[in-house]
Amino acid sequence: MEQKRIGIIGSGSWATAIAKIVTDNGNQITWWVRQQANIDYFVKRKHNPHYLRNAYFDVQKISFSTDIKWVVAQSDIIIVAVPSIHIESTLASLDTEDLKGKSIISAVKGVLPVHNILLNQYLAQKFNFPIASYFTLLGPSHAEEVAAEQLSYLTFSGIDEDETTAIASYFKSEYINTIVNNDVLGVQYAGVAKNIYALGAGIAHGLEYGDNFLSVFIANCAGEMQLLLKEIMDKEGTTCSSINHNASVYLGDLLVTCYSLHSRNRTFGNMIGKGYSVRAAELELNMVAEGYNASKCIHTMNQTLKVNLPIMDAVYQILWEGAEPNATFKKIEQILV
């Protein structure tokens, strides 16, 4: 197989974990980092100054730059790993020619909040980027466990199975197993939905509900998510009858994001349940909880879709309309099955 040049856009915890996977497999990478001071620190100390500080790198395999156009030009495969809220500003200096002939892997787990669209839809609108050259990288996985080389599973989705398998091969290792499917839209919306549900699970934990309630709550989240995905696929004219929504990229990612102490969305929700304001929780967490903006995006989308989403609605009402968490969850108690 012809070796492709790999570029990474983003320098948060997930981008850092991805860089570790790819360089551990012997690949040279170009890496866009926003601030030169962070690059200087990285080169000197061999680790990210802010995220996954215990993950050390062979910096001889990395060409850092604050110039995103240069990183894109040097790469055949571009991995986008920045929070969805920052996508537009991050890609603002690029134009259609910059992305021509490239493959893009989305490691984004959210909807662009201003437009309520996925990354592939934004790329198509702004850069005329083809869906055939677009791939997704999703879990279930946490950056902290990847950094510790604990066995994790990554699912890669793309239109062409052979191309997707080739993309996945850059990531498969002793501590990473890879899975391939072709549900490009569905896995992305599942990644959006599970973050919202993890916020809800965190709120429940903060309200001191126990494991018994959480198990019922998450089981209902799984059913609600499946209804949402089916409605979205029907709207897009894409069949999902052959899709196993119990697979790891759907149910597995939902479970780990709702239960794990590594989950920033669960942590954010836990603060809300304990009485923090949204702003106070944001300042305390000091990282983006994708489910916060996603809850508003899905609420807006659902004005058209009209799917019955009582759990998502409850999370939205707490975060965006000031609904009281305890009273809202008392209502949720009554509709769980």
> Is the pLDDT score of 1 beyond 60?
no
DSSP per-residue letters across 79-124: EE-S-GGGHHHHHTT--HHHHTT-EEEE---S-BTTTTB-HHHHHH
Name the residue type at position 150.
Q
One domain for residues 292 and 227: yes
Strand-pairing partners, residue 136, are 106, 157
- Give residue-wise pLDDT tens across range 162-183: 999 999 999 999 999 999 999 9
Cα-trace Rg, the chain: 19
One domain for residues 81 and 205: no
One domain for residues 235 and 270: yes
Residue 1 lies in a domain: no
Strand-pairing partners, residue 31, are 8, 64
User: Which of 16-30, 223-237, 277-291 reaches the highest mean pLDDT?
Assistant: 16-30
What is the CATH number for 276? Answer: 1.10.1040.10
One domain for residues 236 and 290: yes
Strand-pairing partners, residue 112, are 117
Where a domain ends, among 182, 217, 238?
182
One domain for residues 105 and 246: no
Tell me which DSSP letter residue 322 carries. -
Residue 304 lies in a domain: yes
Where a domain ends, among 131, 155, 182?
182
Residue 57 lies in a domain: yes
One domain for residues 250 and 313: yes
Residue 166 lies in a domain: yes
User: Which of 56-70, 107-121, 286-300 reaches the highest mean pLDDT?
Assistant: 56-70
What is the CATH number for 70? Answer: 3.40.50.720
Assign 238 a pLDDT band (cuts: 50, 70, 90): low
> Is the pLDDT score of 23 beyond 60?
yes
One domain for residues 82 and 168: yes
One domain for residues 198 and 124: no
Cα 99 to the center of its chain, rounded Å? 22
One domain for residues 15 and 111: yes
> What is the average per-residue pLDDT within 57-71?
96
What is residue 241's predicted lDDT score, i.e. its pLDDT? 54
Assign 244 a pLDDT band (cuts: 50, 70, 90): confident
pTM over 0.85: yes
Where a domain ends, among 132, 162, 182?
182
Task: Tell me if 120 sits within 8 A of 132, measured CB to CB.
Answer: no
One domain for residues 81 and 203: no
Task: Count structural domains, the chain.
Answer: 2
Domain hosting 54: range is: 6-182
Residue 148 lies in a domain: yes
